[in-house]
Structure 1
Amino acid sequence: MKLFGLAAALAAASLLAPNVALAQKSYGPGASDTEIKIGNFVPYSGPASAYGIVGQVEIAYAKMLNEKGGINGRKINFISYDDAYSPPKAVEQARKLVESDEVLFLYQTLGTPSNTAVMKYLNQKKVPQLMVSSGGTRFGDDPKTYPWTMPFNPPYQAEGRIYAKWILATHPNAKIAVLVANDDYGKDIYKGVKDGLGDKTSLIISEATYDLTDPTIDSQMAKLKASGADMFLNLSTPKFAALAIRKMGEMGWKPIHVLNNVSASVGAVIKPAGMEFAQDAITASYVKDPTDPTWKDDPGLKEWDDFLQKYMPGADRSNGLLLYGYGAAQTLEHILKQAGDNLTRENIMKVATSLKSYAPSALLPGITMNTSPTDHFPIEQMQLMRFKGDRWEMFGNVIEAKLTN
């Protein structure tokens, strides 16, 4: 009987062994029973310092989580440095975060030039470069070469395709004039438009480019109007989008106006250009506008309001970047909760590439985050909006434009 009892006990132990192994905690650099170190850089200074507020929101969100006990009992150590929107500085800060601070991963590092500069290094080191704060298509379109990189923003090419889908569905005989930046951003979004139009690219009858150093775009706008186009694709960065809107008004040119999302800010672009010249303009978005009365009773925005009052008192609630940063921070919380006690770089990446219909409260209704090992674009849906009076109004259904299968 004793021998039988011993054998039974050994058999039971062998059956339990796999479960015990599964329950064990696994840690990569920067993770322990008490802490999770996460790295970040944003431009707190320099030409793009307005985006520094995104880092401040994420630092404040980590503080809120820690006051609530952290994630699975671990405090978040969110280390955020200034890269001044300078690629060489970004490389320096990324190396410091990985080699000196020994963070588990980088999160929401901001800007296309800076993230491009560190992408190869982070992938060689097998450090997740998660939820990059940029719409650069390059950050998600080649997961085989860059398996450790994933963006947060919808890719610019997807946005371009969404405009093309809308044009083909509602204005299939449009005569299109395009103003586009002569830089990587302009090429990225314009490729999306052309890919989306497919064999209908002949609808584009005139195009003009500008350089960031150009003092005006008067000659480009005169050329586009003279083409006889009845639709204007304003694929411009904020300063030049504002110049284009004002010039449209001065020339009395009233085509159907499509304005890209990076320049859809009412305060920074439309108001200075003249709201009367932007009436009925079309854009696409994915984050709620905190100034829109539509969201007055939205539970998610009420939580965001409470968060701002406690952790960022005095912050300008009308600044959409505050809500953008909040949504990205919610996504970080979600990933860490899903990772549980397996806090290795490999598992963080596995969780990030397994998002299924996740919707932080900052996103517009119907827009969800979905990823897979072969699809590193979490957001590939946008909502069309039309400018009326002094604000954007949603219309139609959410439009999807997937860049991967």
Structure 2
Amino acid sequence: MRLTAAGLVFTVIATLPTLASAQKNYDEGASDGEIKLGQTMPYSGPVSAAGASGTASTAYFDALNKAGGINGRKVKLLTLDDAYSPPKTVEVTRKLVESDGVFLIYGSVGTPTNAAIQRYMNSKKVPQLFLATGASRFKDPKTSPWTLGLLPGYDTEARALARYVLKTVPEPKIAMLVQNDDLGKDFAAGFKAGLGDKAQSLIVSQQSFEVSDPTISSQVVTAKASGANVFFFAGTQKFGAMQIRTRHELGWKPLHVICSTSSGVEAVLKPAGFEAAEGVVSTAYVKDPTNPAVQNDEDVKQYLDWLKTNLPQRDAREGGLIVGYIASYLTAQVLKEAGDDLTRANVMKIATNLKNVRAPMLLPGIAFNTSPTNYAMIDQFQIQQFRNGAWTNVGDVISGE
């Protein structure tokens, strides 16, 4: 069965398990006519560029509702600004759960923000699904069975980047600059693990920064002064652009490796300047809709048509839009598969039994997989280098394990 609305085709994923009950069962936030969802987004604050994910989420369900909703039910999405501030996240999440009575929360952006409500959500047994973070703490079914991250593991990604460095640079001297939170710590730990026994001798500078810092220019200056020929950065978008621009202005030309969180063309590389960003290396798991090489790809054509119809004022280069699009797609398919058994436990059962699910915009060879004992949805990705204003694949899709 296919539902077409505003240029976007919503397709039931045949590989999802059939677990719906013939009898109608509802938890709070679900009824015969409506499913109420919630999410928190950094629409303001230091990583406001990532708020694009919430904009895409709203547009996705608006379009789906116009097409008839999910099994005849309309979706009401409440997406609230937390300014990337954990205390604010706690405040607005309590409102969503206790006052608004949402059925589940999905697609929320941020490692420290989602971490701040993780214990609360699990104590309430309210699903915290397809979060826009790759931190390892959101892939632990033993301690947080109601929490499921969407993005590839930060530590897994970093291990692959480290192996790329060892393969590419004969005698690497590495400077590291990481955000001082769970995101940065996961990337740092994974990168060191990828270097193996050589880590201590190869890393000549390691620094951190806070998301509240006005600038990180001094850290980049220090990294250059260390004599490093490899510069590894892990942080959010604002600082991603800042460190690329500063490194370029210093005339420093190491192998510049950046985490996928800071690889967005519109949010990071364009503000930094394409000339400054030329040659940086990162990873990807989704297609770049602005890359001329994929303009005839069916996923890309449908996505661009959807953007043109539903978000004509937004730029296709905004990576956050794709994250929101995919998270919304997965959430809609899980809810569809739940049928009339709209209980939180059933939704978690479906979400944690995904088998080779191909969502729109995933790169070839990459699929979503989960099990009740493994919440790592993606462990494969593509090494890429930014050349002439676009990301270019380097080698084949690889596993981060």
Instruction: Give the TM interval when normalised to the shorter protein.
Output: 0.7 to 0.9
Report the alpha carbon displacement of residue 367 of structure 1 after superposing the two structures with TM: 1.5
For 1:61-119, what per-residue CA distance to the aligned partner results, in whole angstroms no more than 9, with x for missing partners?
Answer: 11222222222222222222222333233222222222222222111122222211211
Instruction: Give the corresponding residue for 2:399.
Output: 400
Summarize the Cα distance change of 1:58–1:252 in structure 2 as closer, same or farther, 3 Å threshold. Answer: closer
| Equivalent runs, 1:307-318 vs 2, <5 Å | 307-318=306-317
Q: Deviations over 1:101-138 (max 9, x none)?
A: 22221111222222112111110111111111222222
What amino acid is the match of 2:207? Answer: T
Which residue of structure 2 lines up, in the alignment, with residue 193 of structure 1?
191
CA distance in 1, matches of 2:214, 2:84: 22
- How far apart are residue 268 of structure 1 and its match? 4.0
Q: Which segments of 5 or more consecutive residues in structure 1 lack a partner in the other structure?
A: 1-20
Asked if the contact 2:106–2:327 (Cα under 8 Å) also holds between the matched residues in 1, the reply is no
Q: Distance in 2 between matches of 1:280 and 1:354?
A: 39
Q: Structure 1 stretch 303-312 or stretch 384-393: which is displaced more? A: 303-312
Counterpart for residue 100 of structure 2: 101
Q: Which residue of 1 aligns with 2:40?
A: 41
Report the RMSD for the aligned CA atoms in angstroms. 2.5
* Separation in 1, partners of 2:390, 2:269: 10
Contact conserved, 1:38 with 1:104, CA < 8 A, in 2?
A: yes
- Alpha carbons 1:233, 1:258 under 8 Å: kept: yes
- When structure 1 is superposed on structure 2, of 309-318 and 192-201 the one drifting more is 309-318
Q: Contact 1:176–1:203 (CA<8 Å) still a contact in 2?
A: no
Q: Percent identity?
A: 49
- Structure 2 residues without counterparts, runs of 5 or longer: 1-19
Larger CA deviation: 216-225 vs 187-196:
216-225
Residue 297 of structure 1 corresponds to 296
Instruction: Report which stretch shifted further, 60-69 or 313-322.
Output: 313-322
- Aligned CA distance change for structure 1 residues 127 and 143 (closer, same or farther; 3 Å): same
Q: Which residue of 2 aligns with 1:18?
A: none
Tell me by how many angstroms 1:239 deviates: 4.3
The aligned residue for residue 165 of structure 2 is: 167
Correspondences of 1:175-254 after superposition (within 5 Å): 175-212=173-210, 217=216, 220-254=219-253
Does 2:61 match 1:62?
yes
Would the alpha carbon gap of residues 272 and 323 (structure 1) be closer, same or farther in structure 2, given more than 3 Å must change? closer
Q: State whether residues 210 and 217 of structure 1, in contact with CA within 8 Å, keep that contact through their aligned partners in structure 2.
A: no
Equivalence for 2:323: 324
Contact 1:26-1:342 at 8 Å conserved across structures? yes
SS across alignment from 1:386: strand
Q: CA deviation at 1:173?
A: 4.5
142-151 or 269-278, which deviates more: 269-278
Aligned to 2:370: 371
Indicate conservation of the 8 Å contact 2:112/2:181, yes or no.
no
TM-score norm. by structure 2 comes to 0.86
2:352 pairs with 1:333: no
AA of the residue aligned to 1:309: K
Q: 1:377 to 1:106 in 2, by over 3 A?
A: same
Number of equivalent positions = 381
Q: Secondary structure at the match of 1:253?
A: coil
Residues 176 and 334 (structure 1 numbering): CA distance in 2 closer, same or farther, change over 3 Å?
same
Q: Any idea what SS the aligned residue of 2:178 has?
A: strand
**Secondary structure at 2:83 match in 1:** coil
Residues 265 and 305 (structure 1), Cα distance of their counterparts in 2 relative to 1, 3 Å cut: closer
| Residue pair 1:178, 1:204 contacting (<8 A) in 2 also | no
2:274 is matched with 275
Q: Is the 8 A contact 1:156 1:189 kept in 2?
A: yes
TM-score (ref. length: structure 1): 0.85
Tell me which residue corresponds to 1:139. 138
1:112 paired residue number: 111
Instruction: Quickly say closer, same or farther: Cα 1:313–1:389, change in 2 above 3 A.
Output: closer
Mark the CA change 1:397 to 1:313 in structure 2 (over 3 Å): closer, same or farther.
same
